[in-house]
Amino acid sequence: MPRRATRSAPAALPQDAAAGGLPPAATAAPPRAEPPVAPPAPPEHPHANLDRAVRAAVARFTGGVSPHAFTEAWADWALHLARAPGRQLELAEHAQANAMKLAAYLAAGDAKAPPPFEPRAYDHRFAHEAWARFPFRAWQQGFLAVQDWWDAATAPLRGLEQKDADRTRFMARQALDMVSPSNFPLTNPEILAATVRARGRNLIEGWANFTRDVVRTVTQQHEPPSGDLAPGRALACTPGKVVFRNALMELIQYAPATGTVRPEPILIVPAWIMKYYILDLSPENSMVKYLVDQGFTVFMISWVNPGADMADTALEDYRTEGVMAALEVVTAIVPDRKVHAVGYCLGGTMLAIAAATMARDGDDRLASITLLAAQVDFLEAGELLLFLDESQVAFLEDMMWDQGYLDRPQMARAFAAIRAEDLIWTRGVRRYLLGEADLPTDIGVWNADSTRMPARMHSEYLRGLFLENRLTAGRFAVEGRVIALKDIGAPMFVVATESDHIAPWRSVYKAQLFTDCDLTFVLTKGGHNGGILSEPGHKGRHYRISHRPAGAKYVGPAGWIDAHDPLPGSWWPAWSRWLDGLSGAPVAPPAMGATARGLPPLDDAPGRYVHMP
């Protein structure tokens, strides 16, 4: 049975009466007027819970995806294409051209000739050299030719909603990925060779892997990291102490590694969608260890893994009981010093909200703000936004209303679908048909160690930020009053990654559009996680960097990237120099915790919350 009745809109995110937010006069200067209070929603009929229960059951079957988003997109695309004879002729000619290219290539019989169709740069399904031999190259090129045609068929069409065009392209790609010749033993030369070499044992081992994964998925089993690659051993092993704990987070203070430290401490706010130790993986790629070795005092928030009992935890709780509570502890342990605040992914978005609120209220405790792959504007939030509409949010809300949270597999499927070629199909081939076990890596262990999301918080986040984009629209209210990012006066260091599918770099770049403070922007090679974990010595890395003085005119992303050439190496040293330039002369390290102020060390790092299943 459902756990709770329908809740009204959260107080932390009130909706302004006017669609455009407060009138200009009310937002010109502080104090800002409180937004008008919307009339309370009429109570739902008791039978509404029956509707929600049915939708929740359907959501469990579909993995939390609303069928309406699929049907609406395909219907919109098909109807517009049906009344566009010119586009139909164009697609017919495109199909004919692809067929002619394919036929000419295969008829030539020259394996060294350049193929007419190439897989995408990130598509490694056809990397094996045997794909260049007949008949495998025929199957590969035929698949890529069809894929190329569907890319053309789902291109923007006059009158067609851009979101529906993007949705149909995404769904067509997902459907084609299912029938790729790389997925089947008889059409994949690598599988055939492995089967002959292992005399079929690879298929037996693959079937065993498949059975275990099915059982684990059906029973919702979660296997915590074990062995050497477990938090506190080879991972998350930078020495430190838990100096504070509440119901939402633990605060870790890391032990100094140098005789003196910069007087201003660093507070890191990680995302709560995964465990914090992405920033403290192995010693060689740990951002925490790097900062400590550079002579900084570092504090890290470790979020709790919420259960159904935390279903009513709000987005505002993550600000007050998370960021602000941690800031209070840091300034108690290191008094009379400002704090360098760092936010990663969702943690960066929350840090931006907290910083704008502090600026509005005259709180100047931040020495600087660093945002790592974090968005403040969600209009161009990438493929995660494709199926996010009112129907989808309501669908997720009903599923969370039933179980109290968004579960780990439901989040993991959404992220995996964005890069299905590698994260679903390539992994499936290697695990189920080649019989290979997943090699344990630090980032692989972390990636599997996901967390749940409280129902109320996730609903508020999706509606207030992703769906309605209130933060940059002047309609995001904290404690009854709107906040504005342009109020932030502390220097900012914003990092985006070139191939980020979760926080696209042009979306992260918009921090320059909505702030007026001194801002350094970095665009680095890599994806959402790999680009941030770009330690010195990492081969093949480069980055672009720029400085915008406070009050300077805005430059768009296209103009910016043309004006800044890539620099070889890691961006971490540039960030360290930037932090050093905003810090005072070195001093003796602070004590671990502050026992006299009621903040004694509680546990050794990484603490208790990181081990929660």
Active-site residues, by number, are 345
Torsion of CA 181, 213, 272, 426, to 10 degrees: -20
Type of residue numbered 70: F
Within 13 A of 312's CA, how many CA atoms are on the CB side?
A: 8
Contact 274, 449 (CB under 8 A): yes
Burial readout 204-238 (b: 16 or more C-beta within 10 A, e: otherwise): ebbeebeeeeeeeeeeeeeeebeeebbbeebbbbb
Partners of 58 in the β-ladder:
none
Phi, psi (deg, nearest 5) at residue 267: -115, 120
Instruction: State CA 463 to chain mean position distance.
Output: 17
H/E stretch holding 326 reads: helix 325-333
Helix (H, G, I), strand (E, B) or coil at 206: helix
Contact 269, 520 (CB under 8 A): no
What span, in angstroms and rounded, lies between the C-alpha atoms of 552 and 550? 6
Phi, psi (deg, nearest 5) at residue 581: -70, -20
Q: In terms of DSSP H, where are the helices of 361-496?
A: 390-403, 408-418, 420, 427-428, 442-448, 455-461, 470-473
Contact 226, 211 (CB under 8 A): no
Which structure tokens are listed for 475? Answer: 């309609």
Nearest to 484 by CA among 456, 454, 514, 520: 514
What span, in angstroms and rounded, lies between the C-alpha atoms of 367 and 266? 9
Contact 289, 240 (CB under 8 A): no
What number of other Cβ atoms are within 10 A of residue 373's Cβ? 28
Instruction: State CA 413 to chain mean position distance.
Output: 13
DSSP string of 417-434, one letter each residue: HHTHIIIIIIHHIIIIIS
What span, in angstroms and rounded, lies between the C-alpha atoms of 272 and 312? 16
3-class secondary structure for 506-573?
HHHHHHHCCCCCCEEEEEECCCCCCCCCCCCCCCCCEEEEEEECCCCCCCCHHHHHHHCCCEECCCHH
Which structure tokens are listed for 41? Answer: 């929603």
Strands (E), 239-386: 240-245, 249-254, 266-269, 298-303, 339-344, 366-372
Contact 73, 389 (CB under 8 A): no
Q: 298-303 and 339-344: which strand pairing?
A: unpaired
What span, in angstroms and rounded, lies between the C-alpha atoms of 456 and 433? 41
Cis omega (within 30 of 0) for bond into 39:
no
H/E stretch holding 454 reads: strand 453-454
Which structure tokens are listed for 224? Answer: 């915590």
Which structure tokens are listed for 470? Answer: 């209130």
